[in-house]
Amino acid sequence: MIKYLIIDDEYVAHDIIKGYCDLLPNLELAKHCYDALEAFEYLNKHSVDLIFLDLNMPKLKGFDFLKTLSAPPKVIVTTAYKEYALEGYELNIADYLLKPFGFERFLKAVNKAFSTATPQAVTPTAVQPQAQRLFLKSNKTYIQVLVGDILYVEASGNYTKVVCKDDTISIRQPFSDLLTQLPADQFLQVHKSFAVATAHIKSIEGNRIKIETHIVPVGKMYKTNLSKLLNGL
């Protein structure tokens, strides 16, 4: 379960963010905080995995608050001010959302936060790292998938098939867009329509890769990628 904190002085912003989070499985609200000092007091006693952080707040500004945290969790900035984006990325935020933002952009930010690295605890207490995960939209349902369970992804017309250990999910998202959300050090494109999870490769023979019971073709234009993988073993 991903525990999150909303820090914003606007009640409407809390309602919007919580409403979006309620659509996603395994996101659990830890607390509503309406200024940074309230959040600081809460984080002295509790840990969270994700913070939705407004910038222009009374008493203590968002980035000034963030600088006080010695080991911050994942942070997604939610603000109406685009001019602070560069400073945000210098502070290693996961994403920068400009208000007003829609659910699709919000979902992309959450996926980005948890598909590239593991969240850290705010408190010094040791915690188990969260597994990398993605939220995939299949029809009107959002399905949470552990990145480590994905065997390969395949372009299929207007859809992309995500083949996992126990299931295959078809999503209406371009193949190229999905690749940008997958960890580059764990997935390798081997064909114009296929990318494989290198950890699940069972064998490579000629222009075919075997992953469990599946056979994935290797395209001529992508043999260099495969050669780099083999030379690195």
Domain coordinates of the chain in residue numbers?
2-115, 133-231
pLDDT of residue 117: 45
Tell me: the pLDDT tens digits for 35-51? Answer: 999 999 999 999 999 99
CA distances (Å), origin 189, targets 112, 127, 185, 200: 19, 33, 11, 14
**Parts of the chain with a pLDDT under 70:** 116-131, 232-233
Give the whole-angstrom CA distance, residue 179 versus residue 189.
9
How confident is the model at residue 73, as a pLDDT? 93
Helix, strand, coil shares of the chain as percentages rounded to 5?
Answer: 30, 35, 35
CATH code given to domain 133-231: 2.40.50.1020
Q: Which CATH superfamily is domain 2-115 in?
A: Response regulator (3.40.50.2300)
